[in-house]
A and B are shown apart, each in its own frame.
Chain A
Amino acid sequence: MLPAFEYRSPLSVEEALELLAKYREDVKVLAGGHSLIPAMKQGEVCPKVLLDLRRMAGLSAIDPFEDGGLRIGALVTHRDLEISELARGRSPLLAEVASQVGDAQVRNFGTLVGSVCQADPASDYPAALLALEAQVVVASPRGERSVPVEGFIQGAFETALEPDELVLAIDVPRSWARTAAYVRVRHVASGFALAGVAAQILVEDGRIASARIGVTGVAERAFRLAVIEEQLLGREPLPGAFAEMIRGVALGREILSDGAASAEYRSHLADVCTARALRKAISRIGV
């Protein structure tokens, strides 16, 4: 059984922020609970107050921006993203990742925002969110701010969130057509990513005009493959053409090593998934 805690379910952002300001480090925010409750069971976090967002209005929506982007509210579940026509149309990469998270029950209740706030290094989303250059929308008594996901996730289970701040949503710019893919290798028991790579490429006049590649599962935090993104520019998008540049994409980082996979194996999987994600993205050109 979990250690005792106080439970609050505020009705408004203002009320939630007041509670956060009051309890600060002692409070944890609960959305779908599929990251937080398991972490509490493992004793990894031990909040004195649980702040449940479920009664708060306006956090359950996937809202379109005029420029083609999306705002994904803090209570939007993986399942919502998986089946939303809007999400599938505007951010197929994110919908693709959402459809692969956990299992059917996790997808029914777990949320994108909850997963990002947990900052589990083996979570699937960060790869895609980095490739998509998504922003985390944060509210505090000082007002709202947007933080790029890249800066928001600071390490394993560490975010840039201040104790009095609340994540309201994640903003995702419109994906570049459908030339994106997510490829991962899962841990055979937990289903979490040993390595997961999201790649998004923009092709103009038969050449790669832009590329974004995010890698998760391999290091303490997800990272972008900036060098490869650069090298891809101007190249023809031919399947299997980039093998020579995908060697040791994770080198130079502190690679995770545990009972699930050694650092050496994870590093190798990062290469494999990068090559496969690029190949898959390229195969979707013109689809």
Chain B
Amino acid sequence: MSTNARIEGESTGLEEGPRLVSGCGLFIADLRPPEVLHVHLVRSLEAHARIRSIETPAASASPGVVGVFTHTELAFVCDPLEWIGPLPPNTRCPPRPALAQWEARFAGEPLAAVVAESVAEARKAAEGLEVNLEPLPGILEPESALLQRVPCVHVSLGGNVAYQFVVSGGDTEEGFRKADRVLTHRIARPRYHPAPLETRGVVARWLESEKRLEVWSSTESPHFLRAQLAGAMRLPQSAVRVFTPDVGGAFGSKLGATPEELVVCAIARIVAPRPVQWIETREESLAFSTQARATSGELKVGVREDGRLLSISYDGIDDVGAYLPIVPGHNPSAEGTLLCGAYQIPAARMAVTAVFTNNPPATSCHGAGACGAGYIIERAMDLVAAALELDCVEVRRLNLFRELPATTVTRARYDSGDFSRLVDRAVERSQYAVLRHETSSRRRKGELVGLGVALLVGIGAQGPSRETGGPAWEAATVHVSADGSAEVFTGGLACGEGHETVLARIAAHALGVKADAVRVGRADTQTMRAGVGSFGGRSIATTGSAVLGAARALERRLRGVAAGILCTSVEYVDRDGADFVSGSRRVSYRDLCLLAHGASQLEPGSSPLLEETFVFEPQGSTHPISIHVAQVVIDSETGEVSVERCCNVRDLGRELDPALVEAQVRGGIALGIELALLAGSPRGDDGQPLQRTFMERPVSRAQGVPRFDISSLPTPTTLNPLGAKGLGDTVTMAAFASVMNAVVDALRPLGVLHVDPPATPEKIWRIVRSCRGTGGA
């Protein structure tokens, strides 16, 4: 009888699948508490402006309106959002008001909130609001933020620098001196919004008799949100309960606390007992909510004639927008440690100055910083290959770490994996040599075909837990009821990664029961009192390890109880299926749970509560690895880029549910292609967003992506008991970088060395035209 859950192996499909596929999910917009009021936010139309006045009487008198609120009214019940605890070094984080007080700092910053019986009435009333703004000169280009005598986004800071970091190892200057060639190039990546299919939303209710705030939010980090909201609402954290319903994707855009959430909570307190709801519109999501950072800087590589890199540096400016997003695990310098990627480079230096601008706040969507460095080093490799006329795979092989574990000169420690094998596998799976040959012959026929490779080292779970700046641990509780049914509570939750499935299986395996005997509780700060969250690919590595720890501890407890019942000592208790046996004596799992709760047969001193909590603290960062080969063809007449082939080989450590991992890997590749070819969040010269709907914001569609050849070469990490490195956005960024490399490769015969993303048709057409000096035809 071996029907118990296996911890890995064949996929049994998503636990949450039947619910979601039949329309029975419960997302934030599906919540309909009785008597709920709706909030519509009135936002600044100016990128930077002094707020002269906001006249509310007309709007307040509009049908269905319960109240119109500005900073003045909300100041009675809440303070601005502020960083809790020590700020990371060299970081300045100005408080972020629920509603702007004197100044609007980006186009889209909330200025006033109209609360009404329906969304329609709130919106209608908002038209009657008279907002008098005096436009001020603003900072829209990050480079100008550092000039003398320019406006300050936050006057109180006396400058526009949000944070600076330098990560370096070895002597880069000496490396450049010794190098046969020093290559430099300016490279940049644009802002974009990751555009999960579900927008954000929040529902809040104030329970006056209990002095308690209940909040439902589509957040990636419920405990962090609770801490932030409690601080700003002047409440103890114990008085705030955050629930998370099903979340329809996040990609980093639902982290931390935002003014919208605070506004809703503050209003809920004022209009209590009525609950208050805000559901973000697509326009608010794409144009005004937290985006991915833009970055630009100078890349410098020193290389020997034989292709060995001696030194690399990147000196860049990041645009964090008007406010530093208050997110857990904020650790921009983690990016710098990955500048060397998979390569043994004697000297490396990454210096980044992040500046405030009058753009929407921006953070690290798609990966906890790793993405930027990965893209930089992989572009550097191709610049070297082009300069030395070497094959791009050859240059990479020359510089790889031959053996792991290894530590880069910037002190990133890679505990497990085999870069050479991954490269070999990718070369073999993609038939790289054949593709190269094909590329050459198609080029001779005049086609603009390119091959691109990228080898990405990312960060899954950050660690060591006590050195990362932000909290890096995760907690889990496993509880078994008298009938033997088990529940798992964690601080991490699902945003579309299939956590319920995998966590249930981990717990069931450790408890020695079937997976369907375990349920994973919805994220709720009251049932799971502490936690960090689900972001940056940390979930399985940290949350899964915490669940495993808790379930193992509980299983030991159960054995102890069984020993008492079977009149033996614990080392003689075995499991037969779910049952506990010792010699010929046996007690079933169900009976055992019932007896334990009855307490009469418990040993003195042991608790009848069958529950264990475990905190997992990573001892180091896990580093998932992904290598991607992409082939693109450019329509030289229209500039349109088509991705013809994609081959991905990954080492994500142990994969607990390969089918689920594969779905996410494919999703990551499609997003990577989107970032390379489509995504960018352009704003006009006046700071106004140019993408407000999916009529303007392109996304990867079924016809726009090819089939992906994906495979896995896993080496378990030693940094957690599951051996999982996490997925994160390593695959996304590998696909992104390889497609960009392929685009440049396609344009190489025209003399092009670099193209900044996104490689949109008009941009590519212009490049082709200028290189050919003709109409491009």
Do A and B originate from a single complex? Answer: yes
B390 at the interface (CB under 8 A from A): no
Known: A185-B638, A189-B694, A259-B696. A268 touches B776 (CB 8 A): yes
- List the B side residues contacting A241 at CB < 8 Å: none
Residues of B within 8 A of A259 (CB): 682, 690-691, 696
> Hey, which chain A residues are within 8 Å of B695, CB to CB?
189-190
Whether A1 and B120, one on each chain, are in contact in the complex, defined by CB atoms closer than 8 angstroms, is yes
**Contacts of B638 on A, CB cut-off 8 Å?**
185, 269, 272
B765-A265 in contact (CB<8A): yes
Asked if B698 and A271 sit within 8 Å, CB to CB, the answer is no
- On whether the beta carbons of A268 and B765 are closer than 8 Å, the reply is yes
B119 touches A185 (CB 8 A): no
B123 & A272 in contact (Cβ 8 Å cutoff): no
Whether, in the assembled complex, A261 has its beta carbon less than 8 Å from a beta carbon of chain B, the answer is: yes
B697, A272: Cβ atoms under 8 Å? no
Kindly provide the distance from the CB of A258 to the nearest chain B CB, expressed in whole angstroms. Answer: 9
**Which residues 182-216 of A sit at the B interface, judged by CB distance below 8 A?**
185, 188-190
A185 to B638: give the CA distance in the assembly, Å.
Answer: 8
On whether the beta carbons of B697 and A189 are closer than 8 Å, the reply is: yes
**In the bound complex, what is the Cα–Cα distance between A247 and B777 (angstroms)?**
11
Complex Cα–Cα for A185 and B640 (A) = 9
Contact of B637 (CB < 8 Å), options: A189, A260, A261, A272: A272
Residues of A216-268 at the interface with B, using a CB-CB cut-off of 8 Å, are 243, 247, 259-262, 265, 268
Q: Which residues of A contact B691 (CB under 8 A)?
A: 189, 259
Whether the Cβ atoms of B761 and A188 lie closer than 8 Å is yes
Partner of A190, one of B118, B119, B696, B765: B696
Contact among B682, B698, B775 with A188 in the assembled complex (CB-CB below 8 Å): B698
Contact string against B for A residues 1-43, beta-carbon threshold 8 Å, 1 for contact and 0 otherwise: 1000000000000000000000000000000000000000000
Contact with A along B256-289 (1 / 0, CB 8 A): 0000000000000000000000000000000000
| Chain B nearest Cβ from A173, distance in angstroms | 31
* Interface of A, helix, strand, loop or mixed by DSSP: loop
Known: A190-B695, A190-B696. A1 touches B640 (CB 8 A): no
Contact residues in B for A272 (Cβ distance below 8 Å) = 637-638, 777
A-side interface size class: 10 to 19
Measured between beta carbons, the chain B residues less than 8 angstroms from A1 are: 118-120, 123
A247 to B640, CA, bound (A): 20
Interface-centre pick from A188, A189, A261, A262 (highest chain B CB count, 10 A)? A188
Mark contacts of B146-188 with chain A using CB atoms, 8 A cut-off: 1 yes-contact digit, 0 otherwise.
0000000000000000000000000000000000000000000
Near A by CB (< 8 A), chain B positions 686-722 give 690-691, 694-699
Q: Tell whether, in the assembled complex, residue A185 and residue B761 are in contact, meaning their CB atoms are under 8 Å apart.
A: yes
Quick one: closest A residue to B121, CB to CB? A1
Count chain B CB atoms within 10 A of each CB in A1, A243, A247, A262 and give the residue with the most: A1
**Closest A residue by C-beta to B765:** A265
The residue from A189, A265, A268, A269 contacting B698, defined by CB atoms under 8 A apart: A189
Nearest-neighbor residue (CB-CB) of B678 within chain A: A188
- Alpha-carbon distance between A189 and B286 when the two chains are bound, in angstroms: 13
Closest CB in chain A relative to B628 CB, distance in Å: 22
Tell me the smallest distance from the CB of B766 to a CB of chain A, in Å: 8
Neighbouring A residues of B762 by C-beta, 8 Å: 261-262, 265
Q: Which residues of A contact B118 (CB under 8 A)?
A: 1
Write the nearest CB–CB distance from B427 to chain A, whole angstroms. 32
- Bound Cα distance from A79 to B423, whole angstroms: 48
List the A side residues contacting B766 at CB < 8 Å.
265
- Note all chain A residues with C-beta closer than 8 A to B776: 268
Question: Are B120 and A189 interface neighbours, CB within 8 A?
Answer: no
Min C-beta distance of B275 to chain A, whole Å: 20
Q: How far is the CA of A185 from the CA of B639 in the complex (A)?
A: 11
Which residue of the partner chain B has the closest CB to A266?
B762
- CB proximity to A under 8 Å, residues B122-139: 123
Q: List residues of chain B with CB within 8 A of the CB of A269.
A: 638
Q: Tell me if B237 is interfacial: C-beta within 8 Å of chain A.
A: no
Bound-state CA distance A232–B690 (Å) is: 41
Query: Do the beta carbons of B777 and A271 come within 8 Å of each other?
Result: yes
Residue pair B760, A188 in contact (C-beta under 8 Å): yes
Closest residue on chain A to residue B694 by CB atoms = A189
In Å, the complex CA distance between A265 and B638 comes to 9
CB-defined contacts of A271 to chain B, threshold 8 Å = 775, 777
How far, in angstroms, from A1 to B695 measured CA to CA in the complex? 18
Q: Which residues of A contact B682 (CB under 8 A)?
A: 259
Query: CA of A185 to CA of B766 in the docked complex: distance in angstroms?
Result: 16
Q: Give complex CA distance A19, B640 in Å.
A: 48
CA distance A185 to B762 in the complex (A): 11
- Specify the chain A residue showing the minimal Cβ separation from B699: A189
**B639, closest chain A residue (CB):** A265
Q: Is the CB of B765 within 8 A of A189?
A: no
Tell me the minimal C-beta distance from A263 to chain B in angstroms.
Answer: 11
**Neighbouring A residues of B637 by C-beta, 8 Å:** 272
Q: Please, what's the 1-or-0 string for A141-184, where 1 marks a CB less than 8 Å from any CB in chain B?
A: 00000000000000000000000000000000000000000000
- In angstroms, how far is the closest chain B Cβ from the Cβ of A185? 5
Taken together as a complex, chains A and B put the C-alpha atoms of A260 and B695 apart, in Å, by 10
Complex Cα distance, B64 from A1, in Å, reads 15
| A247 CA / B698 CA spacing, docked (Å) | 30
Chain A residues near B690 (CB, 8 Å)?
259
Segment 723-777 of B: residues with Cβ below 8 Å from A: 760-762, 765-766, 775-777
Set of chain A residues within 8 Å of B777, measured between Cβ atoms: 243, 271-272
In Å, the complex CA distance between A260 and B762 comes to 9
Complex Cα distance A262/B698, Å? Answer: 17
Distance in angstroms from A266 CB to nearest chain B CB is: 9
Within 8 A of A (CB), among B571-600: none
Which chain B residues border A261 with CB–CB below 8 Å?
762
Looking at B120, B694, B760, B761, the one whose CB has the most chain A CB atoms below 10 A away is B761
What are the 6 A-B residue pairs with the smallest beta carbon separation, nearest first? A1-B120, A188-B698, A189-B698, A190-B695, A259-B690, A272-B637
Chain B interface (Cβ < 8 Å from any Cβ of A): 118-120, 123, 637-638, 640, 678, 682, 690-691, 694-699, 760-762, 765-766, 775-777
Residue positions of A touching B, CB distance < 8 A: 1, 185, 188-190, 243, 247, 259-262, 265, 268-269, 271-272
Question: What are 7 A-B contacts with C-beta separation under 8 Å?
Answer: A1-B120, A1-B123, A188-B760, A189-B691, A243-B777, A259-B696, A271-B777
Supplied contacts A188-B761, A190-B695, 12 more A-B pairs, CB within 8 Å: A1-B119, A185-B640, A185-B761, A188-B678, A189-B678, A189-B695, A259-B696, A261-B762, A262-B762, A265-B765, A268-B776, A269-B638
